[in-house]
A and B are shown apart, each in its own frame.
Chain A
Amino acid sequence: MSEEVLSIRNLRKNFGEKEVLKGVDLDVYRGQIIGYIGPNGAGKSTTVKILLGLEGDYSGEIKIFGRDISNGDISYKKKIGYVPEMADVYDNLTGYEYLTFVGELYGLNHDLVEYKAKGLMDLFGIGEVFHTRIASYSKGMRQKLLIISSLLHNPELLFLDEPINGLDANSVMVFKEILAELAAQGKTIFYSSHIMDVVEKISSRIVLLNDGQIVADGSFAELQKKQGGTLEEIFNQLTGFHNHEEIGRRFVSLVQEV
């Protein structure tokens, strides 16, 4: 087995009375692309936020790159990249200003970040808005900017939350290539999404979270062997959701009452 990048032991987290994570155990190894899926409110984003130190007050043990993250040493974040869902950025800055700022905070030299940022934006097809304020970017452009900002410092571990939101089909293809290439170079990727066919295709391992617990863990082939069908169907089965047909029918019949 290759090097362990992340290990979670019995992770629990409460929001007030409500227990969001009910004992998560997970070991992630170098070069894996983890498809991290689950229904709304299952605790996916919470897990990622805890890993990044955005949420505290959890119980259990988390080791990233072999070191416990609760000891106050935040240097592990230097090797992490993060694309949040619905991210707010300082959108009164231009792409150039934002990216160089972020890069420099990671300790990169200004000229190097500028060169990388410009190059990456060009490759992503948004080079012409490099010096335009982010506020006027389209949704896809913003998303590309966020992806770039998470990669500037060449991180070892990536957390991506709905990263292809707003990207066009061609850009999605480019992005999938990027992920495959990153994984081949030994980067580890944590990919959360609700788009099942993308997750099915890109992940080397799928982790399904339901109601604060992991209910399935394995490659798609392994899951299929056990449950059968597409990832979407597996998802439905494991989260115990069967009445979509009935809800759909009732929805339309209410629409038709004018």
Chain B
Amino acid sequence: METRDFKRLKVLDKLQWFFDRMGVNYSVMRKILQVKMIMDERRVPTIFNQNKKKDGTVKKESNGFIKSLWVYLLMSLFLLPFIFLGGNYLFQMSLIFGIIMFMVMTTMVSDFSTVLLDIRDKNILYTRPIDRKTINMAKNVHVMFYLLLLTAALVGIPVLAGLFRHGAIFFLITVIELILLNMFIVVITALIYMAILKFFDGEKLKDIINYVQIILSLSIMVGYQVVVRSYELVNLDIVFIPKWWHLFIPPIWFAAPYEMFLNHVFSPTMVVLSVFAVLIPIASFLLYLRLIPSFEKSLEKLSALQAQKEKKRGKIGESLLKLICRDQTERASFCFAGIMMKTERDFKLRVYPSLGFSIVIPFILFFNQIASQPFAETAASNLYLSIYFAMIVIPSVVLMLSFSGKYKGAWIFQVIPVQNMEMIISGTLKAFLVRLYVPIYVLLSVIFAAIFGVRIIPDLVIVFLTSCLYTLICFLFRKITMPFSEPFEAAKESDSWYIFGLMLIILPFFGLHYLSLYLPFGKYLYMIVLAVALVFGWRWAIGLKLKNVRV
């Protein structure tokens, strides 16, 4: 069978003379790149993880990353207004470069950390007769190739628009700067990895990468909501007075040359900033080349082992735990699920962005209102009920509790005679509420109470009780499995309709709460009803559901 060849490599073949001159063994490098690209096709980029192929059938392999470029292309349209509006370059271009840097860098960390940090290279390639120079060049070409595609997708349209709007000089500056920026980003990323590895071990680094992935997913979800609204807020007449701390903000360096060459502002600050834009990326790249050996050395720490200190539960934690979970199996399951939610990276990547989303969405809703009416009016209104939107995260997370990237570990449930499954499920649901939902909800409540006053505290309690009850309801509508025992790929397309359907159940709760506001003592009555339903319903409902399944 013929190994797949790539068009991109055929393009690269044209540059063979360059690599030969560098002393790189081109045919070996080409082989390495070919294998790496085949592996890339079997990886799913962060942006796509929500709709990963789910039916389990083997589709034709195609590079997920290249497909994800469409998303970036779409996002690039949001940059257009900043290109078209006015000639306040320092401000506009800092904003644009800020966005580009953020997007490229987070994508770099989330999707190419595997390229930069592949320790398999060490065992597989370094043991073979290939010189280091060739291996490093292969790595760099590999990263550069994707970075090139990514920036092209992200800025292609805006740059062309700029060419028409601002002329050829604008275009030229942009192209040169983008190359510098990309170099800078590769170096910065590598240096950050190095710094992290210097102080922590590989597990910590993987955690940090995981958080960057979460932030990327979240900012894309929120980005669409915010960006569109932000055009109104951005004041393009803003007068930009250079301050000394601007020297430390890279996007401003990159914006300075526009101001210099297009607006003819040759103030010392502009010159210094522009020089920074050119010199610092080049200097950091040279530094990086010298640091590569120590980078490789620090990569060894990726798989190294650090003994960790014991983390003991305090007395208070212990008694709280006993209060929340009376039963021992329930407690064990509560702790287990809590740790899984905290440390299982696949799970976090799928669940945390939507948790973040549920913090943001209630605000997006009433910021519109705040903009259009006086603050006192908002504070006196019933708008705090938008906190119900925090609940939309519950159905998908409850569904996700069945899944895990480490699902294979679930054999343990079968070997151990788990007789009170009820307690396992109850513990898992409680872990979700306590470990994931409560922190978010408390944060939201504090902010809401600050805006709307302490008068809404009873309402906040009602919404929290409703959330607990709603979690239970979501569980009742779900297929029963052991927690964390199925691969994410087993999640079905139909699940999203399911989740949507479950979200509709929030409406009657919202309605009841709203009605209760118009009755004297209505909300306290409602609160008691909810509390009673929760206390008596919890075990009964879980037990009932399990019984139905066994029959």
Contacts and interface: CB of A to CB of B under 8 A. Distances in A.
B305 A137 contact: yes
18 contacts: A52-B415, A82-B415, A84-B411, A88-B409, A92-B344, A93-B336, A93-B343, A94-B308, A97-B336, A100-B335, A102-B416, A104-B328, A129-B305, A131-B308, A131-B309, A131-B310, A135-B203, A136-B303
B307 interface: yes
A80 interface: yes
A178 interface: no
B385 interface: no
B408 A88 contact: yes
A101 B336 contact: yes
Nearest to B307: A128
A52 to B, nearest CB: 6
Contact of B409 (A52, A74, A90): A90
Complex A-B, nearest 3 residue pairs according to Cβ-Cβ distance, in ascending order: A104-B332, A88-B408, A90-B409
Interface in A58-111: 74-78, 80, 82, 84, 87-94, 96-97, 100-102, 104-107, 109-110
A212 B528 CA distance: 64
B201 interface: yes
A84 B304 CA distance: 26
Contact of B305 (A80, A96, A100, A138): A138
Interface string A169-202: 0000000000000000000000000000000000
Contacts of B332: 100-101, 104-105, 110
Contact of A53 (B339, B414, B484): B414
B411 A54 contact: yes
Size category of the binding interface on chain B: 35 or more
Given A88-B408, A136-B201, A101 B415 contact: no
Nearest to B412: A102
A87 B411 contact: yes
A132 interface: yes
Contacts of A129: 305, 307-308
B310 A130 contact: yes
Interface string A105-142: 11101100000000000000000111111011110000
A9 to B, nearest CB: 23
Listed residue (A76, A92, A94) with the most chain B CB atoms within 10 angstroms of its CB: A92
Interface in B197-235: 201-203
A100 B331 CA distance: 11
Interface of A: 52-54, 74-78, 80, 82, 84, 87-94, 96-97, 100-102, 104-107, 109-110, 128-133, 135-138, 149
Nearest to A79: B417
B419 A75 contact: yes
Which residue of B202, B310, B411, B418 has the most chain A CB atoms within 10 A of its CB atom?
A: B411
Interface in B286-313: 303-311
B32 interface: no
A77 B417 contact: yes
Contacts, number: 102
A132 B308 CA distance: 5
Chain B CB count within 10 A is highest, among A80, A110, A129, A137, for: A110
Nearest to B484: A90
A153 B311 CA distance: 24
A189 B339 CA distance: 33
A97 B202 contact: no
Contacts of B201: 136
B340 interface: yes
Contacts of B335: 97, 100-101
Contacts of B303: 136
Contacts of B311: 131
A91 B417 contact: no
B53 interface: no
Interface in B41-92: none
B428 interface: no
Contact of B417 (A78, A130, A131, A132): A78
Interface string B411-448: 11111111100000000000000000000000000000
B106 interface: no
Contacts of B306: 132, 136
B329 interface: yes
B406 interface: yes
The winner among B304, B413, B414, B415 for most chain A CB atoms within 10 A is B415
A134 to B, nearest CB: 9
Interface in B361-408: 404, 406, 408
B406 A92 contact: yes
B345 interface: yes
A105 B418 contact: yes
B417 A75 contact: yes
